[in-house]
Amino acid sequence: MKPSITQDELKIPTLGPATIHSTLHLSHTMDDGQADFVPDTARVLYRVATRTEKDFDCSLAFERAGPREQIYFDPAKSRAAIVTCGGMSPGLNNVIRSIFLELYYNYGVREIIGFKYGYRGMNPVHGNNPVFMTPDTVRSIHNQGGSLLGTSRGAEEPAVIVNRLQALGINMFFCVGGDGTLRGAHAIYGEVARRGLKIAVIGVPKTIDNDIPFVYKTFGFDTAVGVVRQAIDGAHTEAVGTPNGIGLVQVMGRDSGFIAAYGTLASMEVNFCLVPEVPFALEGNGGFLDLLEKRVVQRGHAVVVVAEGAGQGFFGGKEAVFDASGNRIHNDIGLLLKSKIKCHFDERGLMSSIKYIDPSYMIRSVKANASDAIFCNDLARNAVHAAMSGRTDTLVGLWHGIYTHVPNTLVTSSPPKRVRPESFLWRSVMQATGQPLRMGVGPA
């Protein structure tokens, strides 16, 4: 995240004054036994915890998400579109379904389109026709993993996408995806604004890595941690079942180690958690291999969890390779560790039995668990409220347990969220594993 932000950076763009009374049957009076509209003045403090009383600051606040009493678009004259981009993630179908249900049944928007295969599918040259969605289209998709609409990586020219939106008469465009998707949505908003069009562009943040800044959690993350926990528990069972058994689990996390950290805490069977944010040495006194050897000799087994982006410096000066979304493709740290561990134990005449598990694609493909299913529904419906009220270039986030509007400009101009070595989270990981802060590496 940025080291400091201003209230102006938290301001939400709008298409204009909201002058239409909402079709939702809600109240504007508190404590009358009926759910309320959210006033435009409602805010969520950026900081709720400080080191000292004098540091407490009420000047920074997000706009609170939720249904507005006055909306911008006339539902009877509106047409919405949904696109899902990037990698698969648990909960995509839940988001698609809840966006549709809120638009169709609550607001009365009858024309809702889904674009196939991400931004790529919006370019006519690729030959993908849009899906004209009905209640039957989404009836049971929340019980399935994956995305009804499919996904793809990579950008398309904003002008081409806006041409497609114009041709189909789209007023509200919902972009579901991670950092690359949100960058694309921001570029699409820029082209929409340049043409003076009235199209709301709203993001629903999705990334298993949980690295979107100014958003406490992204959907799919809870489900991913649950699947990782199963993999870790399996690795532990394998490790304790053989002499000098070592369970090695690689999990997703290109540049952020949240899955590794939370999976470690969920299982409580991990002895070493390796993440991109905390450097470690392989060799030498106090390095990872040295500490692993001591653990196995003393206890007879060990479990190691490593995020895919950890330890990339061990691969030397290999040329960087990137995927279609501009994400760096990391070298396989899991396989490297497996090889290094075997060589280390063999050189010392120590027996070892290494079981290597990589559940990455299983994580991405499963259906959302109960927590994520609820979360996806909340995100989706708040995204619809934002669009109907005329907000744009905005994503819906969760902050201090409350749903917020976050300017996409701020998100796309800020570095990804990272595990902080000085945080309560990482301290909890070290307490659970017993590992030192830096294995064989001096102070930063």
Q: Which residues are catalytic?
A: 209
* Non-local CB neighbours of 331 within 8 Å, separated by 6+ positions: 312, 315, 318
Strands of 61-64's sheet, edge to edge? Answer: 43-45, 61-64, 402-407, 394-399, 200-205, 172-177, 79-84, 111-115, 131-132
User: Two tokens at 400?
Assistant: 């201090």
Q: Are 69 and 22 in contact (CB under 8 A)?
A: yes
**In this structure, what DSSP letter does residue 39 have?**
P
Alpha-carbon dihedral 244, 250, 255, 261, rounded to 10 degrees: -70
Could you tell me how far CA 190 lies from the centroid of its own chain?
A: 23
How far is it, in rounded angstroms, from Cα 67 to Cα 259?
32
User: Two tokens at 10?
Assistant: 């938290």
Burial profile 263-280: b = 16 or more Cβ within 10 angstroms, e = fewer:
bbbbbebbbbbbbbbbbb
**In this structure, what DSSP letter does residue 140 have?**
T
Helices marked H in 168-210: 179-195
How far is it, in rounded angstroms, from Cα 319 to Cα 164?
37
